[in-house]
Structure formats: structure tokens, C-alpha cells
Amino acid sequence: MRILLTGSAGFVGSHLTERLLADGHIVIGVDNYISGQPSNTALFEVHPNFKFIQADVSDGIPYKAATFDGQKLDYVLHFASPASPPHYQQFPIETLMVGAQGTQHALELAHAHGAPFLLASTSEVYGDPQVHPQTEDYWGHVNPNGLRSCYDEAKRYAEAITFAYHRHHGVDTRVIRIFNTYGPRMRPDDGRVVTNLIVQALAGQPLTVYGDGQQTRSFQYVTDLVDGIVALMSIKESEDVHAPVNLGNPDEYTILQFAQVIRELIDPTLEIIHEPLPADDPRQRRPDISRARELLGWAPGVDLHTGLMRTVESFRASRSAAPVSAERTPVAAE
């Protein structure tokens, strides 16, 4: 297939590109590097089936530029959006724009090519959930104008316009709701808990836990997510495929427990310190993945310890290889 992927230079985008190329597909990546890394594009630059367009998808995706050898697209995957809380709070307008205009441009492209469309949505559409674990039929509990609203409401709008294109234009649309995902190629300075704590631990610094650390998250290793995405892309269109699907690992940890796991893995002597809890920080999060199990026969296979070992090794390797800061856009420190 000829697949257009927005957000190809991001963490998830780079793993998805790697998998799609390995499966024999052509990938046309689009990214403006607002939160991504040129090094992720460089990984595939010489691959004959990879083409890269540096562009802001909120401004539009040129119909012609987005083809490979002038051929029609077979799939459009919309993954462009800052995803880490410090990132999207540093770029709130851009985050709203890419969820709104960016999603519409990607949908228009899919519609014009007669191609299926897949949206990377998020567990953040559930906000600070009052239903636990979160099932796809839960409508969420979102502050519409809080610090996280630029991301949460952008993704809720992105889901709404995706469904409008399906209902109104008949586009074959699919929506995944991704829960906290981690792995190699995350930006070390993205401010998320996995990267912060690994970077701190490798530098021998105290681990920062926000609040009392009793808030929970469920961490999914990136290759499990990619398996789920490929499974959803691969099934034939039917009424069942259009509804959102949670993709996440249901193993739930308090953030304090998570910090203790990192400490045991890297340096048991490290101190854990507490810093203020950011506003609207969801108190609990765990996916109900029954729908993904039934529809896709999918379940995550990489446990936290194994996934973290791989991630820590990759961070160790890149720390010793080269300084990583030169090519990056700044991220507000938490």
C-alpha cells in the first residue's frame, strides 16, 4: 500500500514507519518537527519506499506532493500532534490547530484518494475519568478550558470530524484511543514521566514524583501499540471497524510505584522527591481492552519490566553516542 503518515518524525510515527516499511509498504511521511526529531526521519531517508515532506499539516497537505510516483494513496494515518503535556501546553494553539484543521486536511486527502483514514486519538478524551477502567462507550469528564483542554478538546473534535466524514462522505474511518505509550526514540526532554525518570536516574539525580504519586497510569510498550494499529488497518471495512478502539496495556501502576520500578532498574540508591501536582492531572487511568481483543484478536505482550529494560538501554546508548539537544525545539521545563 501507499500510506501517508502525518507525524512520521515523532516517537510513535517512527516506529510505525519502521514497521510499515518492513511489511513492504510505501510510506510518505509528513512532519513539521514541532515535537518530532529529524533523527527519526534520517533513519529511513535512504529507504527506497520512504518519502518525506516537511510541512505543517494544519496549513494543508498538497494533493500532488502527497503521492508517491503520482499514484493514489491507499491509506492515510493521522498521527501529527504534540502529545506530551509540557509540549502541548507550550504550543496550545498549534495543538488545537493540528487536531482541528490538520485532521480535516488529512480527512480531505483520504476522501479525495478514496483511501481509508485512521486517527490517533487518546485516552485523554476521557479526561479525569469517573469510570474505571475506561471503556470506549464512556463519554469522559473533561475540563473544556483547563491547561489540558488544548489537547483533550482538540482530540475530541478530531474524533467528531472523523465521524462526520464517515457519516457524511462515507470515508472508511478508524479511530484508536492510545493510552500512555513508551519506548526507544522518545525525546529525552519531552517531559513525560517515563522519559523524565529514566533521564534523571541515568544522571544519578532524584526522581520527581508529582503530588503524592497515588495517581495511576497504565504503560504500553510501543511495539504492542504498532501491532494493534496494523491489526486495525488490516481488517476489512464493516460497521464494527469505525467505532473507537482503546489500545493500551491494562497493567496499572501508581506513579510512585512506577518511580520505584525505575529506581530498582537503574539505581536503588536514588532518592524520590515530590513536586506539585499539575492542574487537572487525571487521577486514574487504565484501558478496558475487551473491544480490541474481540475485534482484532489483539492484546499487549510486553510487560513493563521488559519494555523499560529496552527503553533504558536505548537511552544509555544515545547518551554515550552524541549530545541530543542540538536539533530540538525547546520544551518548557516542568
Give the whole-angstrom CA distance, residue 112 versus residue 72.
9
Nearer to ligand UDP, 244 or 282 (CB): 282
* Active-site residue, selected from the candidate residues 151, 165, 182, 221: 151
Burial letters for 178-216: b for 16+ Cβ neighbours within 10 Å, e otherwise? Answer: bbbbbbbbbbbbbbbbbbbbbbbbbeeeebebbeebebb
Q: Which of 162, 180, 200, 284 binds ligand NAD (CB under 6 A)?
A: 180
Provide the minimum distance between the beta carbon of 329 and ligand NAD in the complex, in angstroms, as a whole number. 8
Cβ–Cβ contacts within 10 Å for residue 132, how many? 15
Q: Note the helical H segments in 23-120.
A: 38-42, 85-90, 92-97, 103-113
Answer yes or no: 151 catalytic.
yes
Q: Please, what is the end-to-end C-alpha distance for the chain in angstroms?
A: 41
Burial letters for 242-271: b for 16+ Cβ neighbours within 10 Å, e otherwise? Answer: bebbbbbbbebbbbbebbbebbebbeeebe
Degrees to nearest 5, angle at CA 170 with 164 and 171: 80
Record the cell numbers describing residue 3, joined without a space.
500510506
Residue 130's identity, in one-letter code, is Q
Grid cell 494543508 — which residue?
A: 60
177 is a site residue for ligand UDP (CB under 6 A): no
Q: What are the residues whose beta carbons fall under 8 Å from the beta carbon of 38, sequence distance 6 or more?
A: 9, 327
Nearer to ligand UDP, 16 or 255 (CB): 255
Site string for ligand NAD, 260-289 (x = CB under 6 A): ------------------------------
Where do the DSSP E strands lie in 161-299?
A: 173-178, 181-182, 207-210, 216-218, 220-221, 245-247, 252-254, 272-275
307 is a site residue for ligand NAD (CB under 6 A): no
Nearer to ligand UDP, 173 or 215 (CB): 215
Q: Which of 41, 81, 134, 200 binds ligand NAD (CB under 6 A)?
A: 81
Which part of the chain contacts ligand NAD (CB under 6 A), choosing from 1-9, 160-168, 280-288, 314-322? 1-9
Nearer to ligand UDP, 108 or 288 (CB): 288
Q: Which of 4, 5, 13, 20 binds ligand NAD (CB under 6 A)?
A: 13
Which part of the chain contacts ligand UDP (CB under 6 A), choosing from 57-65, 129-137, 157-165, 207-215? 207-215
Contact 281, 210 (CB under 8 A): yes
Site for ligand UDP in 234-263 (CB under 6 A): 255
Site string for ligand UDP, 79-118 (x = CB under 6 A): -----xx---------------------------------
Out of ligand UDP, ligand NAD, none, which partner does residue 176 contact, by CB within 5 to 8 A per kind? none
Out of ligand UDP, ligand NAD, none, which partner does residue 196 contact, by CB within 5 to 8 A per kind? ligand UDP
Give the residue numbers marked as catalytic.
Answer: 151
Query: Which residues are near ligand NAD by CB under 6 A?
Result: 6-7, 9-13, 30-36, 56-58, 79-83, 98, 102, 120, 122, 178, 180-181
